[in-house]
């Protein structure tokens, strides 16, 4: 497709999204779905939480990596998680995505889906996408083909089968290209992208799967200042449409995107609140920010 056609498709999808009712709630989320019959595994947001962890503990060989951690996130929120190395930030993501099983505690997606009863692939299928630190795009394929592949993989269509993008999927792909700012690079090989562009492509591949919750571990590590700023803009665009949990050390980036910041230390929440508030917290200064 040419950039013109891609742009037109992106606009159609943007317009369709704007037509959907999305009244933000006080907590930044969407209107709860009262009065509907819920399907099996459909996300129930009636309690205003998309993710809920309670008293979670994980030990590795007797070492408590996560220690009675409780945390909840509202739908549409962009939550930043900061904290010293070894605080348990990556382990927290491993628990949510089903990679690590906690020894005790509760982990819920919406009010009804008990994530501890599901496997890693099931959790991904339910709409929790995860971006690891290192980009894992397919370098010999174009940007467009990478996004197409993400859609096929998600739909479970074998790569060898004839698979044609439906109109709606084409528009969606175009919209994702526009969101991640890679329309011009659509037919460029992914291997030729800059580090930052590869990271955006990988985020785009996650977006093709229409995740409700996106977990991003140190997304701007290794990016130039320019790329970091574009990434902040991207996340602010995604917020509301998706719920984001972002682990980062780059404080100027956190400053640009943050709403509520959670400080993790020794596997538990040390402080939580607006950035200015946690930055002024004595204990946070001591263990993480320094004087």
| Among the listed residues 28, 76, 88, 211, the single contact to ligand ADP using CB under 6 A | 88
- Asked if 25 and 31 count as a contact pair (C-beta separation under 8 A), the reply is yes
Least gap, CB of 262 to ligand ADP (angstroms): 12
CB closer to Mg ion out of 89 and 242: 89
d(CA 12, CA 278): 41
Q: Which does 91 bind (CB under 5 to 8 A by kind): ligand ADP, Mg ion, none?
A: ligand ADP
258 is a site residue for ligand ADP (CB under 6 A): no
d(CA 155, CA 173): 14
DSSP, collapsed to helix, strand or coil, labels residue 233 as helix
CB closer to Mg ion out of 90 and 175: 90
Size of the site for ligand ADP (CB under 6 A): 10
- Asked if 133 and 222 count as a contact pair (C-beta separation under 8 A), the reply is no
d(CA 155, CA 174): 18
Beta bridge partners of residue 51, listed in sequence order: 73, 109
Query: SS3 helix, strand, coil % of the chain, rounded to 5?
Result: 40, 20, 40
- Asked if 240 and 75 count as a contact pair (C-beta separation under 8 A), the reply is no
86 is a site residue for ligand ADP (CB under 6 A): yes
| Among the listed residues 6, 45, 53, 65, the single contact to ligand ADP using CB under 6 A | 65
Give the Cα-Cα-Cα angle 238, 241, 243 (nearest 5 degrees): 75
Dig out the tokens for 61 from the structure: 């060989």
- Asked if 278 and 271 count as a contact pair (C-beta separation under 8 A), the reply is yes
Only segment of 88-96, 122-130, 150-158, 171-179 that touches Mg ion (CB under 5 A): 88-96
HEC string for 18-29: HHCCCCCCCCCC
- Residues 23-62, one symbol each (x = binds ligand ADP by CB under 6 A, - = not), give -------------------------------------x--
Among positions 42-61, residues that touch Mg ion (CB under 5 A) are: none
Size of the site for Mg ion (CB under 5 A): 2
Length in residues, the chain? 291
Cβ within 8 Å of residue 176, ≥6 positions away:
147, 204, 207, 208
90 is a site residue for ligand ADP (CB under 6 A): yes
Least gap, CB of 226 to Mg ion (angstroms): 25
| Among the listed residues 89, 198, 239, 242, the single contact to ligand ADP using CB under 6 A | 89
90 is a site residue for Mg ion (CB under 5 A): yes
CB closer to Mg ion out of 93 and 186: 93
| Among the listed residues 39, 85, 119, 166, the single contact to ligand ADP using CB under 6 A | 85
CB closer to ligand ADP out of 94 and 171: 94
**Residue ranges in contact with Mg ion by CB under 5 A:** 89-90
**Residue ranges in contact with ligand ADP by CB under 6 A:** 60, 65, 83, 85-91
């Amino acid at each position: 497709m040419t950039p013109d056609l891609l742009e037109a498709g992106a606009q159609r999808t943007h317009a369709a999204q704007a037509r959907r009712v999305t009244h933000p709630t006080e907590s930044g989320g969407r209107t709860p779905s009262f009065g509907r019959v819920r399907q099996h595994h459909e996300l129930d947001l009636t309690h205003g939480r998309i993710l809920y962890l309670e008293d979670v503990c994980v030990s590795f060989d007797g070492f408590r990596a996560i220690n009675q951690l409780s945390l909840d996130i509202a739908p549409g929120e962009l939550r930043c998680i900061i904290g010293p190395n070894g605080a348990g930030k990556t382990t927290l993501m491993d628990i949510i995505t089903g990679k690590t099983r906690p020894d005790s505690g509760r982990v819920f997606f919406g009010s009804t889906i008990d994530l501890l009863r599901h496997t890693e692939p099931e959790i991904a299928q339910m709409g929790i996408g995860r971006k690891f630190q290192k980009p894992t795009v397919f370098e010999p394929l174009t940007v467009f083909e990478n996004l197409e592949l993400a859609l096929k993989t998600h739909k479970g269509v074998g790569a060898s089968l004839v698979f044609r993008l439906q109109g709606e999927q084409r528009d969606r792909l175009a919209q994702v290209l526009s969101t991640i700012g890679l329309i011009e690079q659509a037919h460029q090989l992914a291997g030729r992208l800059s580090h930052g562009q590869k990271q955006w492509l990988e985020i785009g591949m996650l977006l093709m799967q229409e995740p409700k919750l996106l977990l991003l571990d140190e997304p701007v590590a290794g990016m130039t200042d320019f790329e970091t700023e574009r990434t902040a803009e991207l996340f602010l665009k995604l917020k509301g449409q998706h719920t984001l949990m972002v682990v980062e050390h780059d404080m100027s980036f956190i400053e640009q995107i943050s709403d509520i910041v959670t400080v993790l230390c020794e596997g538990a929440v040390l402080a939580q609140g607006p950035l200015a508030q946690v930055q002024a917290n004595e204990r946070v200064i001591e263990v993480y920010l320094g004087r």
